[in-house]
Structure 1
Amino acid sequence: MIIEKIELNNGSAVGLDMQMQNASLILIKADKGFVMCGYLDMDTATALGDAAVKVKGVKTFDDVLQAAVVGATQEAINLGIKVGMTGKEALELMF
């Protein structure tokens, strides 16, 4: 498992990269929410009231930052996050 501090313009996030059997589970958490890979479930994040966005096809933290957001919970949308922005742009709004 890799845990890494990720410095962004608006604050420091924490990245988690856990190698599973066939792919990595990757998540980057900011103060108010997180960006997750396709491995994790948007319905659960929604049910729990989390500000969460999903990106797909990522293998590294840098991939997550550059990937386009393909889904967002209502809580994330309330922070100004939109589908199509990058993971980094979404994270910047989560501080």
Structure 2
Amino acid sequence: MVIIEPIMIKGHFFTAVVVQLPKTTLLTISNDTGYIMCGALDVGLLNDRLADRKIIAGRAVGVKTIDELLTAPLESVTYEAHQLGITEGMSGVEALLKMV
């Protein structure tokens, strides 16, 4: 099943996507600037092989719901996210608000 829902954080709209797969669930929250995602995100790939795309993204591990993704500390972020002031350890909400 795929669930797509708009969510608002401090007056800013984002899109939450939940993809339920066998034995795992993929979670993302995004806007036109960037996104945060569950542990399935490969930040190394984005930084190295896709560096020319300048992707702004962060990864939180061990999350199972959108609410957990919003509150969990980011485990890793892309180089481009760092340019916006998004850092490891920052909550998902804090990171998303740097993307507006």
DSSP-derived class of the 1:45 partner: helix
Consecutive unaligned residues in structure 2, runs of 5 or more: none
Question: Take 2:99 and 2:70, find their aligned partners in 1: how far apart are those partners?
Answer: 13
Calculate the aligned-residue CA RMSD, in Å. Answer: 1.1
Q: How big is each residue's C-alpha offset from its partner over 1:1-52, in whole Å with a ceiling of 9 and x where there is no partner?
A: 1101110115100011001111100010023110011012113332232000
2-structure distance, mates of 1:85, 1:40:
17
Report SS of the residue matched to 1:7.
strand
Amino acid at match of 2:69: V
Relative contact order, CA 8 A, sep 6+: which one is greater? 1
Structure 2 matches for 1:33-72, cutoff 5 A?
Answer: 33-46=34-47, 47=50, 48-72=53-77
Partner of 2:6: 5
State the alpha-carbon separation in 2 of the partners of residues 11 and 35 from structure 1.
15
Letter aligned with residue 9 of structure 2: L
Scaled by the length of structure 2, the TM-score of the pair is 0.89
Which deviates more, 46-55 or 68-77? 46-55
Number of matched pairs: 95
Tell me the amino acid that sits aligned with residue 42 of structure 1: V
| Alignment-mate amino acid for residue 86 of structure 2 | I
| Larger Rg computed on CA atoms | 2
Q: Name the structure 2 match of 1:93.
A: 98
Tell me the TM-score normalized by structure 1.
0.93
Q: What runs of 5+ residues in structure 1 fail to find an aligned partner?
A: none
Q: Provide the secondary structure at the position in 1 that maps to 2:89.
A: coil
Aligned match of 2:88? 83
Identity, in percent, stands at 37
